[in-house]
Amino acid sequence: MSILITTVVSVFIFGLVVMIHELGHFICAKKAGIQVNEFSIGMGPALFSRVKNGTRYSIRALPVGGYVSMEGEDEELSEEEQFSDPEIPPEAKTGLPFPKVKVWKRIIVVAAGAVMNLVLGFVVLLLLFSGSDTLASRTVALVEEGSAVEASGLQVGDEILAINGRRCFVTNDIIYELQRSEDFTADFTVKRNGEKVQINDVQFDQVQNGDTVTMNMGFKVYALEKTPLNVIGQAFDYTLFYARLVFRSLVDLVTQRVSVTELSGPVGIVSAINQAAGMGLSEVLSLLALLTVNLGIFNLLPFPALDGGKLVFLFIEGIFRRPLPKRFEIWVNMAGLFFLFAVMIFATFNDITRLF
C-alpha cells in the first residue's frame, strides 16, 4: 500500500476518533454553560485558527490528539480571572468556569468524550453489518465427521454460551477464547434442547503449518437471518466485544499472560491501518470501530490524567460536598501523564523494533 494512501487513511482515522471524542466534551460543556476557551483537533502548531463566540477553534499540525480547554479546569481560580488569549476579551466569555458548574454536569461533560467514541464505534459497526451479506450466529451448524470436536461431544444445534467459563456474545468471542485455550482443549457451555449443558475437555485437531501448530476448529455455525433487529443486535454485541478486549488485554498484561513487549503505539497502529487499507474499506471500518471503542473504554479507566481519573475526583467531590485540593489533583494528573508518556515511548520503541 502506497505511503500516500496510508497517510491519508491514518490521518482520517486518527482525526475522526479524536474529533468525535473532543466533540462530546465540547457539546456537553456548551450545554452545561461552561466557558470553552479552545476546541482543538490535533496537537502542536496551529494550521488553522478562528475565534467565534468566545471560543477559539483550531486544527493543529500533529493528528495524534486534541483537547477542549475549559475555563478554570486545570488551574486554581482567583477573584479576577486571568485571560491569556488576546483575541478572546473577557467580555466575550459568557460561560462559567468549569469548577463553578454543578458537579453532576461536570461528570456528564467529562464522560461525554468516551461515550461519543462508543457511539461512533456502534454506528460504524451498524454500517458494516448493514452492508454485509451474512450475519453469524453462535449455533453449531456443522461438526466435521471424525474430528476431535465430534468425539468430544459437541453437536449440531448446540448454541455456544460460554467457553472456559467466559460468556460468548458473538462469534468473535468464540474464536478469541479458543485462541487462548491451552493444549488445544476447552470447556464449553452450550444450550441443547432448551437446557444448559456443560461439555468439558473438548479436544481440537492440530494442524502443522510449517514450524507452527495451529488449531482446526472442526465446526461451523449457522448464519443469522439479516433483519434490522439482528443487524442492530450484532452491532451492539460487537461494540461490547471490542470493549471487553481492553479489560482482557490489561488483565493479560498484569498476569503476564502477554509480554509487555507486545505493547503497540502509534507506529504499530499506522502499520495496522496500512494492512487494513490494503484489504479494503470494510477492514478499515472494522479497525476504526476497534480503535474508537478502545479509546472510549481506555479513557474511562480510573487512572490519573485520563477522563476516568477526573471522574474519580468529581465523584469524591459529589460525595463529600467539597473538592480535593486543586494542587493535589494537578500533581496526581501530572504523574499519571508522565507515566502514560513513558508507556507510549516504550510502545513506540517496540513498534520500531518489530519493523526492523
Question: Could you report the per-residue pLDDT of 284-331, keeping only the tens digit for each?
Answer: 888 899 999 999 999 999 988 889 999 999 999 999 988 888 888 888
Res. 349 pLDDT band, cuts 50 70 90: confident
The residue among 101 and 91 whose pLDDT is bigger is: 101
Q: Tell me which residues are annotated as active site.
A: 22
- Give burial (CB, 10 Å; 0-12/13-18/19+) of 111: buried
Instruction: Give the separation between CA 38 and CA 52, rounded to whole angstroms.
Output: 10
Task: Tell me the pLDDT tens digit for each residue of 110-119.
Answer: 999 999 999 9
Contact 319, 236 (CB under 8 A): no
Torsion angle of the four alpha carbons 140, 144, 150, 155, in this order, in degrees rounded to the nearest 10:
20
Contact 224, 132 (CB under 8 A): no
**Percent of the chain having pLDDT more than 90?**
39
pLDDT of residue 1: 52
Instruction: Give the separation between CA 236 and CA 119, rounded to whole angstroms.
Output: 10
pLDDT of residue 81: 46
pLDDT of residue 317: 92
pLDDT of residue 79: 40
pLDDT of residue 110: 95
State whether residue 311 is helix, strand or coil: helix
- Give burial (CB, 10 Å; 0-12/13-18/19+) of 140: buried
Contact 150, 143 (CB under 8 A): yes
Contact 117, 299 (CB under 8 A): yes
pLDDT of residue 281: 83
pLDDT of residue 44: 85
Res. 82 pLDDT band, cuts 50 70 90: very low
Task: Tell me the pLDDT tens digit for each residue of 202-231.
Answer: 889 888 777 777 888 889 999 998 899 999
Task: Tell me the pLDDT tens digit for each residue of 224-269.
Answer: 988 999 999 999 999 999 998 888 888 877 777 767 666 677 777 7
Beta bridge partners of 198: 189
CA atoms within 13 A on the CB side of 36: 26
Q: What is the mean pLDDT of residues 99-114?
A: 94
Res. 61 pLDDT band, cuts 50 70 90: confident
Beta bridge partners of 211: none
Check whether 77 has a pLDDT greater than 60: no
Q: Which of 251, 275, 260 is nearest to 353 (CA)?
A: 260
The residue among 3 and 156 whose pLDDT is bigger is: 156
- The rounded mean pLDDT for the chain is 85
Res. 74 pLDDT band, cuts 50 70 90: low
Task: Tell me the pLDDT tens digit for each residue of 158-208.
Answer: 999 999 988 998 998 998 888 888 788 999 999 999 999 999 998 898 887
pLDDT of residue 315: 94
